């Protein structure tokens, strides 16, 4: 890989935070965006330290942020080793993901704590996607909506236990998925929200009234919309309906056409909109590998090359690549380039509090960038200024 501290990308359309710049250029120094040029402002010469990348009319967009991913490339966050996190982080730039939340699963206290300690001690590496925190999925969920979460390890909300885990993670738990109906007095949700944790309703059977109450207490997200939750019914619109109607909520979306049918993706986009949707993969260790049997939280998962399921047929995460999810959304009526940038980059950065340094193209921000064609095919991925992936011609 090319570990260049100084890079000039020219002849590109730049989808900057506040505008689109045609035939522009940008400079990267020490892993950050140092200058952005319009066509009229472009320099005629460059210092010798700069590597020149001619975009030849392609587009530059911010790198994707995956706020919900368990594993890839044969490894899982719950493996709790540096090597496992390396295996995940090094393969994600190929699909356009430049940073992610290492996502746990409902498991024994001991196993969760091992995973949290491992993330706490992990150091991001040049040319790899950045781990920007932890998504604690479970164990405070509703058993009847467990999905692929092991039922024997489900627990009631526990502030003391969460605080222990947050300390072990070195305050890296950014998002928690929990079932709000089990926090009867709202003290758990309020405690987390006051501490700045992104509280997401998921693996929940609560109704619409329960979601309105949860939002009043501090819930601001819905986990993998439509999956493992109460759906829309004509007598109660449930959690899915809450995501449609309550403006305080952003909603994760697995856009693989399996977890949510393409027609439902269209309906969701038209009712929720690009400002409140967050594209995720919810991928497990089998992503990037061949069909076969794999482990997820101690459970056997069969992968046929299209989907990942437990022995009873329950969907068990995905093998979705973020770039493919973006392309799936671009097929929908009315979805523009700017919309998928919002859903895959800007919104997740805002939701977990890292928009000051990631999620958009702006001077001073990390140079997490993608050079893509008009179909969002990835030609280059840059992670903090390092060329981490170069696509084939």
Tokens matching residue 327? 């392309």
185, 183, 184, 261: which is closest to 226 by C-alpha? 261
Tokens matching residue 99? 């940073």
The angle, 0 to 180 degrees and rounded to 10, between the axes of the packed helices 187-194 and 159-168 is 30
The answer to whether 361 and 36 have CB atoms below 8 angstroms apart is yes
Would you call 282 a catalytic residue per the annotation? yes
Q: How far apart are CA 335 and CA 329, in angstroms?
A: 7
172, 179, 174, 176: which is closest to 155 by C-alpha? 179
Rg (CA), the chain: 20
Of the listed 76, 207, 282, 366, which one is catalytic? 282
Q: How far apart are CA 340 and CA 279, in angstroms?
A: 8
Give the list of residues 6+ apart from residue 38 with CB closer than 8 angstroms, or none: 21, 24
- Positions annotated as catalytic residues are 282
């Amino acid at each position: 890989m090319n570990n260049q501290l100084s890079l000039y990308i020219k002849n590109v359309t730049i989808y900057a935070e506040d505008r689109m710049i045609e035939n522009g250029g940008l400079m990267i120094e020490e892993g950050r965006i140092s200058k952005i040029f319009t066509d009229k402002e472009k320099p005629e010469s460059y210092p010798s330290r700069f590597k020149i990348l001619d975009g030849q009319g392609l587009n530059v967009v911010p790198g994707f942020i995956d706020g919900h991913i368990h594993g890839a490339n044969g490894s899982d966050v719950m493996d709790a080793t540096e090597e496992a996190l390396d295996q995940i982080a090094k393969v994600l730039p190929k699909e356009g993901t430049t940073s992610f939340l290492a996502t746990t699963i409902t498991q024994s206290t001991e196993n969760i704590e091992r995973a949290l300690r491992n993330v706490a001690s992990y150091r991001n590496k040049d040319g790899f996607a950045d781990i920007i925190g932890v998504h604690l999925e479970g164990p405070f969920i509703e058993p009847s909506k467990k999905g692929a979460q092991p039922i024997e390890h489900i627990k009631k909300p526990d502030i003391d236990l969460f605080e222990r885990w947050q300390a072990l993670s070195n305050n890296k738990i950014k998002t928690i998925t929990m079932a709000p109906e089990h926090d009867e007095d709202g003290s758990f949700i309020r405690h987390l929200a006051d501490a700045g944790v992104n509280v997401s309703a998921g693996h929940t059977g609560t109704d619409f009234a329960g979601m309105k109450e949860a939002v009043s207490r501090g819930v601001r997200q819905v986990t993998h919309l439509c999956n493992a939750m109460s759906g829309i019914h004509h007598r109660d619109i449930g959690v899915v309906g809450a995501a449609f109607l309550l403006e305080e909520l952003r909603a994760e979306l697995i856009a693989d056409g399996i977890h949510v049918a393409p027609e439902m993706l269209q309906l969701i986009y038209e009712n929720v909109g690009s400002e409140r949707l967050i594209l995720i993969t919810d991928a497990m260790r089998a992503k990037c590998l061949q069909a076969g049997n794999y482990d997820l939280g101690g459970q056997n998962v069969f992968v046929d090359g299209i989907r990942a399921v437990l022995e009873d047929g329950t969907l068990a995460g995905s093998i979705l690549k973020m770039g493919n999810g973006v392309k799936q959304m671009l097929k929908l009526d009315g979805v523009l380039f700017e919309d998928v940038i919002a859903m895959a980059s800007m919104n997740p950065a805002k939701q977990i509090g890292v928009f000051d340094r990631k999620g958009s193209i702006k001077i001073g921000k990390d140079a997490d960038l993608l050079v893509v064609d008009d179909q969002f095919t990835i030609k280059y991925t840059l992670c903090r200024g390092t060329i981490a992936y170069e696509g084939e011609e």
